[in-house]
């Protein structure tokens, strides 16, 4: 989510990890995530005709050493979308930015 230019411009986190108006300013981290998202779109466009799917996916805010084991989702909930996106069938979505959510349905994030 921190790589979404739309979310940053709107100062709104669509995942619910941060309150409205509280989009965090983490320059180095956010810039690196934005670069990964741009690379995702470029690879998706380059490999689309070959049937290779390229998507960005986030587990969302899950407990890790980096966040002192806090988070809004469990590690198991966070694993749902990365696994789903890694096992997409031929013809599945490409060039998307998706994250895990508490429902298991996932959330497509804006670029």
Question: Domains of the chain, with CATH numbers?
Answer: 5-108 (3.40.50.720)
Q: How far apart are CA 87 and CA 93, in angstroms?
A: 11
Q: How far apart are CA 104 and CA 48, in angstroms?
A: 27
- Which residues carry out catalysis? 29
Query: What's the confidence (pLDDT) of residue 22?
Result: 80
Mean pLDDT of 52-56: 97
Q: Which residue has the higher pLDDT, 93 or 20?
A: 93
Q: Give the tens place of pLDDT for each residue, 21-37.
A: 887 888 888 899 999 99
Q: Are 16 and 72 in contact (CB under 8 A)?
A: yes
For residue 98, which phi and psi values (nearest 5 degrees)? -130, 150
Q: Give the tens place of pLDDT for each residue, 3-13.
A: 888 988 898 88
Q: Which residue has the higher pLDDT, 66 or 110?
A: 110
Residue 54 has pLDDT above 90, yes or no: yes
Q: Give the tens place of pLDDT for each residue, 60-107.
A: 889 988 888 888 899 999 999 999 999 999 999 999 999 998 898 998
């Amino acid at each position: 989510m921190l790589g979404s230019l739309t979310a940053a411009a709107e100062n709104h986190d669509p995942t619910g990890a941060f309150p409205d108006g509280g989009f965090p300013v983490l320059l180095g981290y956010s810039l690196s995530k934005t670069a990964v998202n741009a690379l995702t779109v470029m690879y998706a466009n380059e490999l689309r005709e070959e049937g290779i799917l390229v998507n960005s996916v986030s587990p969302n805010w899950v407990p890790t050493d980096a966040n002192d084991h806090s988070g809004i989702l469990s590690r198991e909930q966070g694993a749902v979308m990365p696994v789903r996106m890694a096992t997409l069938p031929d013809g599945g979505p490409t060039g998307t930015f998706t994250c895990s959510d508490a429902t298991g349905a996932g959330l497509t994030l804006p670029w």
